[in-house]
Amino acid sequence: MSATAADRAYDHVKHAILDGSYAGGALLTEGEVADAVGVSRTPVREAMLRLQVEGMLRLYPKKGAMVVPVTAAEAEAVLEARTLVESWAAPQAASRGAQLADELEPYLTQMRDHRASGYVTGFSEADRTFHERIVAAAGNDILTRLYRSLRERQICISEAVMRLSEERMDIALDDHSQLVDRLRAGDEAGFVELTERHLQQAIDNTRSSR
Amino acid sequence: MSATAADRAYDHVKHAILDGSYAGGALLTEGEVADAVGVSRTPVREAMLRLQVEGMLRLYPKKGAMVVPVTAAEAEAVLEARTLVESWAAPQAASRGAQLADELEPYLTQMRDHRASGYVTGFSEADRTFHERIVAAAGNDILTRLYRSLRERQICISEAVMRLSEERMDIALDDHSQLVDRLRAGDEAGFVELTERHLQQAIDNTRSSR
DNA sequence: GCCTTACGTGTTGCATCTATGATGGATACA
DNA sequence: TGTATCCATCATAGATGCAACACGTAAGGC
């Protein structure tokens, strides 16, 4: 219980949105959440402000906070933005070669372990971090932050995809280890190309699951 | 005085940062700002949270809020992100042709008027809106929001450039009216190319002014 | 003389209280 | 019966008070 009350409220609402307890379109009130978390309304307010900025809530003055129902347009926007950032980052990340490969290796291992033990949530978390590190390697804090928030929203958009099939996990695992291989081999063009393909696949998966 | 207390606090701090009253590295406290604006600490807190998200403040628990001193790396990151978004938007905006041109025309007129009357702040505001509308025309809310916050941070980064020389205003005015012309003429490639050049110039200007 | 510790000051974190605005339903009127 | 209006209810916006925490400073022990 070391986190602040505001953090706890934030986590509570975020998780509730992500796992569907607070469905899209639902109207929350500060008091409700405050009671649920066991804090006063002040920290809840702060949490809701943060979540609004991240695009998960929309606050209506004197009315309440609506859990943003994901529209098709919004889903497209997230995918498009993600593609833009990731495509931009790939060439720059590629030039860091083996150094980046060393950094990514642990997450690849995690993915393998989680794949073996069937822990899907852990798998996709490692997957997400893997990609985040690639983007971060491009060295632009602003775009890295944006990318992180995009990935979080994507979870919220398509929790269906979260239920990765075994097959899909294997494909992802294979793609990722190939990415690391190409970094080590200094094959920058190959890295970029594979990134594009991986992205396109993610887009197709998300689209088809909607 | 129709705005909320939180909005007033927000505007106060933001403007103070932009015009240099609160210099980079300065440590603000909630109480200070509350007194200055004439509201209690609650809305000031909210304002500071927003400004932290926008990257203008950094909050240190129990210590205060530091006005983020702009590092060279940060300035580069902003420019790079802006370039990425604007280059991405240009082709899509171009395809909207005359319709977009009609939308942009008023801002071009504003720029001309402000140029004539020497109202520099108004000029760069119209300039900013002009570009924002182009990005918005690409139809991605997430990237549009990002772009807006980038432009705001850019002001903060290079207020020197804000002091546009007459000459520079003329160049900008010329560029912008050419952009509108090409939209009307349906010259998509020309629009994109000019956008790139305009961007590169903005980058050079900013770099040289640091 | 130096290091440790205790304390004073200042700031945030959070709870609580009041005021105000929004909303939906009941009621009165046409 | 339909519509406009009034009011009870509820949610937020903001103010205020208190407690906890960080940090600088000064005093005391070694």
Choose, out of B10, B42, B83, B140, the residue to mutate when testing the contact with A (most A CBs < 10 Å): B140
Q: For residue A153, what pLDDT is reported?
A: 84
Calculate mean pLDDT across residues A124-132: 90
Which chain B residues are closer than 8 Å to A85 by Cβ?
A: 84
Q: Which long-range contacts (CB under 8 A, 24 or more apart) does B183-187 make?
A: B183/B94, B183/B96, B183/B97, B183/B98, B183/B100, B183/B101, B183/B104, B184/B97, B184/B98, B184/B101, B186/B97, B186/B98
Q: Which range among A161-170, B11-20, B23-32, B137-146 shows the weakest confidence by mean pLDDT? A: A161-170
Calculate mean pLDDT across residues A23-40: 89
Confidence category of residue B74, pLDDT binned at 50, 70, 90? confident
Is the pLDDT confidence value at B62 over 60?
yes
CA distance B184 to A78: 30
For the entire predicted model, the pTM comes to 0.86
CB within 8 Å: A49 and B45: no
Q: For residue A88, what pLDDT is reported?
A: 94
Task: Tell me the β-bridge partners of B27.
Answer: B66
Sign of the torsion angle spanned by Cα atoms B64, B65, B69, B70: positive
Is the pLDDT confidence value at B158 over 70?
no
3-state secondary structure of B177: helix
Q: Which range among A139-148, B14-23, B32-41 shows the weakest confidence by mean pLDDT? A: B14-23
For strand C, which nucleotides have at least one atom less than 7 Å from a protein CB? 10-17, 20-23
CA distance B201 to A182: 36
Q: Would you call B175 an interface residue with chain A, using a CB distance cutoff of 8 Å?
A: no
CA distance B45 to A28: 22
Portion of chain B with pLDDT greater than 90, in percent? 41
**Tens of pLDDT, residues A32-42:** 999 999 999 99
Average pLDDT, chain B: 87
3-state secondary structure of A29: coil
Of A157, A159, A163, the C-alpha closest to A120 is: A163
Q: For residue B159, what pLDDT is reported?
A: 54
Residue B182 CA from chain centroid, whole number? 24
Strand C–CB A37 distance below 7 A: no
Q: For residue B98, what pLDDT is reported?
A: 80
Strand D–CB A59 distance below 7 A: yes
Confidence category of residue B129, pLDDT binned at 50, 70, 90? very high
CA distance A142 to A162: 26
Q: For residue B66, what pLDDT is reported?
A: 92
Is the pLDDT confidence value at A160 over 60?
no
Confidence category of residue A164, pLDDT binned at 50, 70, 90? low
CA distance B166 to chain A (A): 32
CA distance A12 to A36: 9
Q: How many CB atoms lie within 10 A of CB A208?
A: 9
CA distance B65 to chain A (A): 16
Q: Would you call A81 an interface residue with chain B, using a CB distance cutoff of 8 Å?
A: yes
Is the pLDDT confidence value at B12 over 90?
yes
Calculate mean pLDDT across residues A172-198: 88
- Residue A130 sits at the vertex; the CA angle it makes with A125 and A131, to the nearest 5 degrees, is 105
Print burial letters for A52-65: b (CB count within 10 Å at least 16), e (below 16). bbbbbbebeeeebb
Is the pLDDT confidence value at B38 over 70?
yes
CA of B127 to C1' of C13 (A): 42
- Segments of B22-140 assigned E as strands: 27-28, 57-60, 64-67
CA distance A125 to A114: 10
Which chain B residues are closer than 8 Å to A5 by Cβ?
A: none
Nearest residue of B to residue A86, measured between CA atoms:
B84
Calculate mean pLDDT across residues A62-87: 89
Q: For residue A159, what pLDDT is reported?
A: 54
Q: For residue A130, what pLDDT is reported?
A: 93
Calculate mean pLDDT across residues B138-156: 89
Strand D–CB A2 distance below 7 A: no
Q: Which helix (H) or strand (E) holds B21?
A: none
CB within 8 Å: A143 and B84: yes
Is the pLDDT confidence value at A53 over 70?
yes
Cβ-nearest to A142 among B50, B77, B139: B77
Calculate mean pLDDT across residues A140-157: 88
Calculate mean pLDDT across residues B72-90: 91
Greater model confidence, B166 or B188: B188
Choose, out of B2, B62, B68, B84, the residue to mutate when testing the contact with A (most A CBs < 10 Å): B84
Calculate mean pLDDT across residues B118-136: 89
Sign of the torsion angle spanned by Cα atoms B133, B139, B141, B142: negative
Strand D–CB B5 distance below 7 A: yes
CA atoms within 13 A on the CB side of B193: 6
Record the tokens describing residue B188, joined without a space: 């998509």
Report B:125-154 residues touching A (Cβ under 8 A): 139-143, 146, 150
Q: For residue A210, what pLDDT is reported?
A: 57
Greater model confidence, B113 or B206: B113
Q: For residue B89, what pLDDT is reported?
A: 93
Q: For residue B142, what pLDDT is reported?
A: 93
Q: What values do phi and psi take at B163, rounded to 5?
A: -75, 65
Q: For residue A163, what pLDDT is reported?
A: 59
